[in-house]
């Protein structure tokens, strides 16, 4: 018991001895803050200018800096602004650049850094700040596209590149037999060959590669549908329906009770019909007979959703059953019935081997070859789901890409980055391009 009392007394004695020190630290700190803050700036902003009033300016009293971490919009004029400044204390002797006496309402040119010096009301304290008003120097709506790598495999211009377990895998289909794949472990810079696959005894249409219900599917040129769970071991589908085109997966929602693969099949009479496939147990469900001018191969296609979140698949370009290039835009929401979206001829020259993709709530069309086999580097855009098209604004064009690409694969990563893999422009391209609209990288305000 005596030991316990002795221990308690020692602890109390230690606390008594330490209390002035512990209490003195915040006390001295507060006193220092108060004395230094007499001439400090309490608030800085542009409260009288609605377009920039919500931008916060950070006041660093230790470094003597005042600046906005979130830059003002591109081309915002800052050469004639009067700031709103609140001081903890001031005797009115506020200097700009050490010489100009400033008073409330004075207009200043913030297109270059300025210094602000304030004197406290009692004249004993002075505080100087460097003022910076940051404005974006690049148009946030402009596109930047750069070469990320020149090591992309040149097995074939045609490729399908996907993300698999967080890594890029590129697939190529030789003119006969199986497929060849490469993997990049460094975000598309370098590539290494994968082990040979098995089970594909057919010439493969590599653009048909699709993920569906925890499986991957591929279409052979003989009309067989192949599936795999790991992209290495492949088996032929038990359904014997002859499939001529495989457009990809359509998500189940308004017009579908479940997800389905969408394509074109040949029925028992040899007629080509739109169809959808929900699994081997259900087989292919056939829809309407395809129109004569509907593209069967070399088309560009993409999946997206309407503003009401209804999934759809769109096609543009490609070669019809009679061997001519298609010049129309097509779309489906159920896989059994397609409509020609454009009611008037499109301004885009018919082509094959182009890319169709969604980005920034718009549909884009890029690359490909015309009837004469010449490429086109113009980026086209549609803001109404493919009904009308026009050349994208100059600030969006892929001007840094000198080649006129065809058969490239374009992959959009989370509506942030645009990746372009391979393709051809006279020779097979060994490049990986990566780009984005500038504002996609800006932090949300």
pLDDT tens string 240-286: 899 999 999 998 877 777 899 999 999 999 999 999 998 877 789 99
pLDDT in tens, 221-246: 999 999 999 999 999 998 889 999 99
62 occurs within a structural domain: yes
Residue with more model confidence, 282 or 220:
220
pLDDT in tens, 359-379: 999 999 999 999 898 998 999
51 occurs within a structural domain: yes
Number of domains the chain is built from: 1
In this structure, what are the phi and psi dihedrals at residue 132, rounded to the nearest 5 degrees? -135, 125
- Once rounded to an integer, what is the mean pLDDT over residues 372-401? 94
The yes-or-no verdict on residue 72 having pLDDT over 80 is yes
Cα–Cα distance, 357 to 408 (Å, whole number): 12
56 occurs within a structural domain: yes
Cα–Cα distance, 404 to 422 (Å, whole number): 12
Q: Which residues contact 98 (CB under 8 A, 6 or more apart)?
A: 115, 117
pLDDT reported for residue 12: 35
* Residue 384 DSSP class: S
List the domain range (segments joined by +) for residue 81: 38-132
Cα–Cα distance, 241 to 274 (Å, whole number): 13
58 occurs within a structural domain: yes
355 occurs within a structural domain: no
Asked if 224 and 268 count as a contact pair (C-beta separation under 8 A), the reply is no
Q: Which residues contact 180 (CB under 8 A, 6 or more apart)?
A: 153, 155, 171, 172, 173, 174, 193, 194, 196
Mean pLDDT taken over the chain:
89
65 occurs within a structural domain: yes
3-state secondary structure of 15: helix
What tokens were used for 289? 């007979």
77 occurs within a structural domain: yes
410 occurs within a structural domain: no
pLDDT in tens, 139-182: 889 999 999 999 999 999 999 999 999 999 999 998 777 899 99
- Once rounded to an integer, what is the mean pLDDT over residues 373-402? 94
pLDDT reported for residue 37: 63
The yes-or-no verdict on residue 187 having pLDDT over 80 is yes
Closest CA to 386 of 283, 302, 286: 302
Cα–Cα distance, 95 to 204 (Å, whole number): 75
The yes-or-no verdict on residue 36 having pLDDT over 60 is no
The yes-or-no verdict on residue 5 having pLDDT over 90 is no
Domain harbouring 52, CATH code: 2.60.40.2340
pLDDT in tens, 289-302: 999 899 999 999 99
3-state secondary structure of 320: strand
Q: Which residues contact 107 (CB under 8 A, 6 or more apart)?
A: 80, 81, 82
The yes-or-no verdict on residue 74 having pLDDT over 90 is no
Asked if 338 and 328 count as a contact pair (C-beta separation under 8 A), the reply is no
Q: Is the pTM of this model over 0.85?
A: no
Question: Other CB atoms closer than 10 Å to residue 60's CB: what's the count?
Answer: 11
Cα–Cα distance, 393 to 399 (Å, whole number): 11
Min mean pLDDT across 11-15, 186-190, 377-381 is at 11-15
pLDDT reported for residue 443: 63
């Amino acid at each position: 018991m005596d030991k316990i009392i002795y221990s308690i007394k020692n602890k109390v004695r230690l606390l008594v001895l330490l209390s002035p020190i512990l209490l003195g630290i915040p006390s001295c700190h507060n006193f220092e803050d108060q004395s230094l803050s007499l001439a400090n700036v309490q608030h800085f902003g542009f409260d009288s200018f609605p377009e920039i009033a919500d931008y916060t300016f950070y006041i660093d009293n230790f470094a003597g800096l005042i600046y906005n971490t979130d830059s003002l919009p591109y081309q915002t004029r800052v050469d004639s602004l009067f700031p709103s400044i609140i001081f903890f204390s001031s005797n009115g002797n506020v200097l700009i650049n050490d010489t100009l006496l400033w008073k409330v309402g004075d207009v200043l040119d913030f297109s270059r850094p300025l210094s602000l010096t304030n004197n406290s009301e009692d004249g004993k304290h002075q505080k100087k700040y460097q003022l910076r008003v940051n404005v974006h120097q690049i148009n946030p709506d402009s596109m930047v596209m750069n070469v990320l790598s020149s090591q992309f495999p040149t097995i074939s211009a045609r490729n399908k590149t996907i993300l698999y377990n967080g890594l890029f895998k590129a697939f190529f289909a030789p003119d006969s037999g199986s497929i060849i794949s490469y993997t990049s472990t460094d975000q598309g810079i370098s590539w290494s060959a994968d082990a040979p696959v098995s089970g594909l005894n057919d010439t493969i249409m590599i653009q048909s590669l699709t993920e569906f219900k925890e499986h991957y599917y591929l279409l052979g040129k003989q009309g067989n549908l192949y599936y795999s769970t790991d992209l290495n071991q492949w088996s032929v589908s038990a359904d014997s329906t002859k499939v001529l085109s495989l457009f990809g997966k359509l998500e189940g929602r308004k017009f579908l009770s479940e997800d389905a693969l969408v394509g074109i099949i040949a029925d028992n009479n040899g007629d080509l019909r739109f169809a959808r496939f929900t699994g081997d147990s259900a087989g292919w469900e056939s829809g309407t007979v395809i129109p004569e001018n509907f593209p069967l191969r070399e088309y560009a296609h993409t999946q997206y959703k309407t503003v009401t979140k209804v999934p759809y698949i769109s096609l543009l370009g490609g070669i019809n059953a009679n061997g001519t290039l298609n010049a129309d835009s097509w779309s489906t929401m159920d896989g059994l019935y397609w409509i020609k979206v454009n009611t008037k001829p499109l301004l885009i020259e018919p082509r094959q081997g182009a890319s169709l993709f969604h980005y920034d709530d718009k549909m884009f069309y890029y690359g490909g070859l015309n009837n004469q086999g010449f490429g086109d580097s113009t980026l086209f855009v549609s803001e109404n789901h493919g009904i009308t098209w026009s050349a994208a604004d100059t600030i969006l064009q892929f001007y840094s890409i000198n080649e006129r690409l065809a058969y490239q694969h374009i992959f959009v990563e989370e509506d942030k980055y645009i990746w372009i893999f391979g393709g051809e422009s006279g020779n097979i391209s060994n490049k990986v391009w990566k780009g984005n609209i500038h504002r996609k990288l800006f932090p949300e305000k």
